[in-house]
């Protein structure tokens, strides 16, 4: 923890990604793409060790699906989730290798699945235990989607209070508050269709059904949450070495007990992403480093706080750029 209490040294390469005014953020499902992480594995020994450890933990060559596809296999929830997590941890390992030291930010956070990547970086879970929990999470969510079919929709340009009222009237759920003008709702297909129609009538700029497998972060995920809770209880957790801003309450998780409580409700609870970013900014964070595939979170942070400095580390070239 010593590094996190030091201010970045002006002009130093590591100063770009180390310090109390830095937060690392980790992406969730939907950021996957065939070929992600392949350059990390080819060019970074530390990243390659992460992929090998994940493959060993899962007893199957998940990295082959990441690097080569087919896409139809990669997008399966039980593959996509551990694959995104693995690339995030591998990118972080490559950063450390390039910098010659572990980069320690002031805070970490992850969007939905990304919260598990944050837990590993904060020392709460080993890579092996993170992989096992995440693959179980993906499998259980996939099973819950069959048991309780549903979907999700994005409401653009509507206030949170109006979205809450729409959900109350239609029996749907607010599942993600991503920014002031992007709220994701979830529910069974009939209820969701009614909610989309009502949102349009209430003045939403857009109300768009999403191409997802189920109603994530809603009551329809109860079967998955119940199954995951058994694994959470049997998995060893350490206290975080870095404060983790949790999805459910947008407040720091500082003990193993607080992390367990968060994960025991996360699948059925709204992801408070806007509040999480606002909390970190209010706590002095000025730069957000999105670590892992894609740039989804970078776009959301920009919409939440236009003054934030943003950086992506999703490739070996990006990791090497930290020393430029």
Q: Please give the positions annotated as active site.
A: 112, 217
Where does residue 141 fall: left (phi above 0), alpha (psi -120 to 50 degrees), or beta otherwise?
A: alpha
Distance of CA 177 to the CA centre of its chain: 14
Distance CA(74)–CA(242), nearest Å, equals: 31
- C-alpha distances (whole Å) from 159 to each of 47, 163, 174, 323 are 42, 6, 12, 42
Confirm if 53 and 2 have CB atoms less than 8 A apart: no
What is the 3-state composition of the chain as percent helix, strand, coil, each rounded to the nearest 5? Answer: 50, 15, 30
Q: Which two tokens stand for residue 48?
A: 């390659």
């Amino acid at each position: 923890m010593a590094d996190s209490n030091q201010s970045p040294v002006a002009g130093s390469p590591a100063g770009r990604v180390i310090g109390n005014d830095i937060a690392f953020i980790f992406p969730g499902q939907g950021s996957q793409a065939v070929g992600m992480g392949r350059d990390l594995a080819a060019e970074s020994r530390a990243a390659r060790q992460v992929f090998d450890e994940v493959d060993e933990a899962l007893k199957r060559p998940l990295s082959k699906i990441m690097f080569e596809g087919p896409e139809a296999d990669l997008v399966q929830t039980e593959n996509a989730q551990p694959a995104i997590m693995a690339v995030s941890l591998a990118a972080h390992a490559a950063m450390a290798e390039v910098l010659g030291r572990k980069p320690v930010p002031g805070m970490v956070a992850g969007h939905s699945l990304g919260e598990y990547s944050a837990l590993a970086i904060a020392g709460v879970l080993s890579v092996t235990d993170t992989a096992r929990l995440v693959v179980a999470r993906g499998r259980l969510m996939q099973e819950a989607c069959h048991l309780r079919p549903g979907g999700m929709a994005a409401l653009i340009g509507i206030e949170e209070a109006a979205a809450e009222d729409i959900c109350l009237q239609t029996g749907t759920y607010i599942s993600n508050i991503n920014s002031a003008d992007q709220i994701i709702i979830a529910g069974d297909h009939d209820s969701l269709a009614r909610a989309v129609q009502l949102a349009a009538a209430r003045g939403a700029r857009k109300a768009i059904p999403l191409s997802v497998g189920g109603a994530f972060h809603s009551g329809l995920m109860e079967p998955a949450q119940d199954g995951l809770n058994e694994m959470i209880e049997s998995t060893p957790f350490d206290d975080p070495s870095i404060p983790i801003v949790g999805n459910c309450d947008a407040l720091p998780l500082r003990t193993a007990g607080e992390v367990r409580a968060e994960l025991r409700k996360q699948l059925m609870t709204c992801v408070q992403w806007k509040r999480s970013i606002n909390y970190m900014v209010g706590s002095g964070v000025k730069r957000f480093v999105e670590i892992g595939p894609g740039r989804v979170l970078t776009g959301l942070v920009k919409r939440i706080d236009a003054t934030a400095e943003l950086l992506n580390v999703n490739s070996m070239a990006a990791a090497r750029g930290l020393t430029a």
